[in-house]
Amino acid sequence: MKASTLQAKFIQIRSNKLFETFVVTVIIFSALLVGVKTYEISGTMYSMAKFLDWFISAFFLTEITIRFLAEHRKRDFFKSFWNLFDTLIVIISLIPADDTELALVARLVRVFRVLRMISIIPELRILLVSLIKALPQLGYVMLLMFIIFYIYAAVGSTLFATINPDLWGNIIISLLTLFRVMTFEDWTDVMYETMEVYPLSWIFYLSFIFFTAFAFLNMVIGIVVNVMEQENANARAEALEEEGEPSLKEISQQISQLQLQMLSMNDRKDA
């Protein structure tokens, strides 16, 4: 009885919005602390920063422990990728490696503690999961974009290499130049230079920008937005299930069953 009461308290703490806000605040503060350490600070400030760093690590360990104890089935805690990620980051950050050869690794791990905001804030999780799920579709778009890049780089290297070898000397340099054109980084200077020899070379640049900066990048945005909408719908459905309310799938199934029942009743009346 006492164990269940204690677990209920841990569940209450874990679901408390004020506690979640405080955790996010500590994560942001830990990121700022890492930034402070990149400056030259006095010995007193360094000792204070080190103490705060250990306090943050201890707080994160306490927070992970609360989340673990609040789980009904302890094995389910480690089935979540985000729980595993948080636990790994916290455990590694507890290793005293500041005065050893692994000091650089320890500092990098403390930087990655900022990523814990993704596991804490559901909206950030949806964004990251949507991006990961969109990668297979994005891969084909990127492949097609690379083919366009390669064709234009080969043409540019063939036509413009004698004009400016620094920009069009070989296909690798041409790819970098085309990336500069796609991002609109002084691309008009590149275009005007080649137009002095080939007046119609503006067609080369404008068609390339149309394919890459307009067409393909909009395709990428469209794919990510589509996947994000699906993830938001799934998140809303899961929230409804947790609240005990029927999801859209269940409602549609119930409507289908009612339609079948009405059809069968009509058939009986006709008979």
Domain membership of residue 21 (yes or no) is yes
Domain membership of residue 32 (yes or no) is yes
3 in helix, strand or coil?
helix
Question: Nearest-CA neighbor of 192 among 183, 201, 203, 182?
Answer: 201
pLDDT band at residue 193 using 50, 70 and 90 as cut-offs = very high
Q: Burial letters for 154-193: b for 16+ Cβ neighbours within 10 Å, e otherwise?
A: eebbeebbebeeebbeeeebbbebbeebbeeeebeebbee
Long-range own/partner contacts, residues 225-233 (CB < 8 A, 24 or more apart): 226/134, 227/130, 227/131, 227/133, 227/134, 227/137, 228/126, 228/127, 228/130, 230/130, 231/126, 231/129, 231/130, 231/133, 232/126
Dist CA 219 CA 64 (whole Å): 40
Domain membership of residue 233 (yes or no) is yes
- 267 pLDDT above the threshold of 80: no
Domain boundary among 62, 89, 120: 120
Burial class (CB in 10 A: 0-12, 13-18, 19+), 256: exposed
- 176 pLDDT above the threshold of 90: yes
Token pair recorded at residue 82: 């985000």
Better pLDDT: 211 or 43? 211
Domain boundary among 90, 120, 150: 120
| 200-249 residue pLDDT tens | 999 999 999 998 888 888 888 888 888 888 877 777 776 666 555 555 55
Question: How many C-alpha atoms does 208 have within 13 Å on its Cβ side?
Answer: 28
Domain membership of residue 125 (yes or no) is no
Residues 211 and 154 in one domain: yes
pLDDT band at residue 160 using 50, 70 and 90 as cut-offs = very high
Domain membership of residue 131 (yes or no) is no
Residues 152 and 115 in one domain: no
Which residues make Cβ contacts (< 8 Å) with residue 235, sequence separation at least 6? 122, 126
Residues 108 and 145 in one domain: no
Q: What CATH number does the domain containing 224 carry?
A: 1.10.287.70
Domain membership of residue 254 (yes or no) is no
Q: What's the rounded mean pLDDT across residues 165-172?
A: 91
The reported pTM is 0.60
Residues 56 and 142 in one domain: no
Range of the domain at 176: 137-243
Residues 96 and 195 in one domain: no
Domain count of the chain? 2
DSSP secondary structure, 25-46, as one string: HHHHHHHHHHHHTTS---HHHH
Domain membership of residue 184 (yes or no) is yes
| 79-120 residue pLDDT tens | 777 788 888 878 877 776 565 556 666 666 677 777 777 777
Residues 110 and 145 in one domain: no
Residues 116 and 141 in one domain: no
Residues 95 and 207 in one domain: no
